[in-house]
Amino acid sequence: MLQIRDITIRNLAGFMESDEFQRMEHIPISPPRGFSQGKNPHASPDDRVLFLAYEDDRFIGYLGALPDVFYVAGSPFKVAWLSCMWVDPEMRRHGIAGKLLHHANEVWKSSLLISNFIPKSKAAFDKTGLFEPFMESKGIRGYIRFDIAQILITKKPSLQKTAWLLKSLDVLLNIGNEIRLIFWRTLQTGLRVRLLDELDEVTSRFISTHNQFHLTRKGKEHFEWMKSAPWIIEEPYPGRDALRYDFSSSDKRFRQYWFTLSNTDGTPAAFLMLSLRGNHLKTPFVYFEKGNEANILRFLYAFMIRNRVRTFTTYHPALVSAVKTGRNPFLLTRKVTMESIITPRLKAKLGNTGNYYLQDGDGDAAFT
């Protein structure tokens, strides 16, 4: 008989220290994610964030949830983003995923949504009848350096055996490519750039004046949480917990950056939270004065070149448009889409969402 066990924020640390957790072949949460959940400024001790499925005392699946707060007409209310669903391969096609989703929906009183999911998961979500389309973000992905090995092996894992050959080809092609990029390295932004270790009062005020129409109004405490408690840790080789976890928990490079761009008179023009994982740069949270798109992109292009970035992705509408219409250093660009789905009850509560906006990093995207 199927049983579902709920783990709250309050009990999460104890569960990860338990003998049961240490014996699990597949762990339902990585230690970095568990630590981060406990630091979430929008989480309460009794929020249920992990759902474990058992069949006759045998652990067979899990589903994670990330508490958040939405703002509509200035009023906040609690929601949860679903994340990281797994079912034992031997128990798939037995309806386990659907039962986990229905259970989480009941616990969170139909205040659920999902974003940043892989396409093959969509069928499981659709099958439950719990969700409907919400927002669809149109982005752009640019390849500034050759990364043939990563692209091909991701699409076709069987090519792993030829990785050395593909990586050698990338090295040869990128030698010539670096000459092409010299021009972009020296471009001037026209703005003063500053790397921040902490968010000062001026920057915090700038963010708050630019997030009024965002469903999640991220502020100082949220950015500090994301930076101090990441889900991905840097390590050269996956450790034991990373090998037991079926989702991302480590990488050879994972860093988050805070940058302010200011006008010559010192007034703030932009705040950027950037995420660099491996050779892929993303823009989880971006706030800027209209008209600064070109200057921001010049800075981003220079950052990519100096930090050996190969791939860049953004869904910010103004930046996407500026990349498409302006000169850029990319070898190739392609369109990308990030879908979000939502429970009908929550969508009705939000009302007309046409005036609201989600950032690239909302949900769990900033952590991965």
When pLDDT is averaged across residues 217-243 and rounded to a whole number, the result is 93
Q: Within a 10 A sphere around the Cβ of 149, how many other Cβ atoms?
A: 20
What are the Cα distances from residue 293, in Å, to 105, 188, 269, 324? Answer: 40, 14, 10, 12
Q: CA-based angle 252:175:234, to the nearest 5?
A: 5
The reported pTM is: 0.93
pLDDT at 149 (0 to 100) = 86
> Which pLDDT band, with edges at 50, 70 and 90, does 49 fall under?
very high
**Which residue shows structure tokens 């979000």?**
340
DSSP state of 97: H
- Gap between the Cα atoms of 246 and 153, Å rounded: 18
Report whether pLDDT(354) > 70. no
pLDDT at 340 (0 to 100) = 94
Judge: domain 2-134, CATH 3.90.1280.10: no
Report whether pLDDT(158) > 80. yes
238 in Cβ contact with 245 (< 8 Å):
no
- Percent of the chain at pLDDT exceeding 90: 75
The helix/strand/coil state of 156 is coil
Tell which phi-psi region holds residue 363, choosing left (phi > 0), alpha (psi between -120 and 50) or beta. Answer: left
| Sequence letter at residue 216 | T
Report whether pLDDT(1) > 90. no
What are the sequence ranges of the domains in the chain?
2-134, 139-367
When pLDDT is averaged across residues 2-15 and rounded to a whole number, the result is 97
pLDDT at 29 (0 to 100) = 97
Strand partners, 53: 4, 61
When pLDDT is averaged across residues 74-78 and rounded to a whole number, the result is 88
pLDDT at 45 (0 to 100) = 97
pLDDT at 352 (0 to 100) = 73
> Which pLDDT band, with edges at 50, 70 and 90, does 353 fall under?
low
What are the Cα distances from residue 143, in Å, to 56, 138, 174, 303? Answer: 49, 17, 12, 14
- The pLDDT tens digits of the residues spanning 109-131 come to 999 999 988 877 888 899 999 99
82 in Cβ contact with 104 (< 8 Å):
yes
| Sequence letter at residue 206 | F
